[in-house]
Amino acid sequence: MRLEILPHVFPELFLSADWYEIERRGLGADFLDEAANATERVGANPLQFPLTEGDVRRAQLHRFPFGIFFTYNADVVTVFCIVHLSRDASVWKKYLP
């Protein structure tokens, strides 16, 4: 199975990591590690995560309140949004591929 993370995901991810790093040294790196681990879980077994709407699924980071929104078609998992879950619940829709 191929895991594809769309390029527009990274700026928001790194901005969030910067914010955590300002809050506490090392926390930004912890956030990025957790995001990487969660995306690996998504890539390894995408069907374990619940559908949110249509064919969009959501995985949650364990330690941070972020959701990973993705689709799974044939042998490709496409991550199109990683967002803080306190934001508007529908914010991920503007990133749909």
Question: Which structural domains are found in the chain, ordered by start?
Answer: 2-90 (3.30.2310.20)
Nearest to 3 by CA among 57, 47, 52, 40: 40
pLDDT at position 53, please? Answer: 92
Mean pLDDT for back-to-back runs of 10 residues, the chain (97 residues): 94 96 97 97 96 95 96 94 86 85
Reported pTM: 0.92
Distance CA 91, CA 20 (A): 21
Please name every residue paired with 67 in a beta bridge, in sequence order, or none if there are none: 60, 83
Q: Specify whether the CB–CB gap between 31 and 24 falls below 8 A.
A: no
* pLDDT score recorded for residue 88: 78
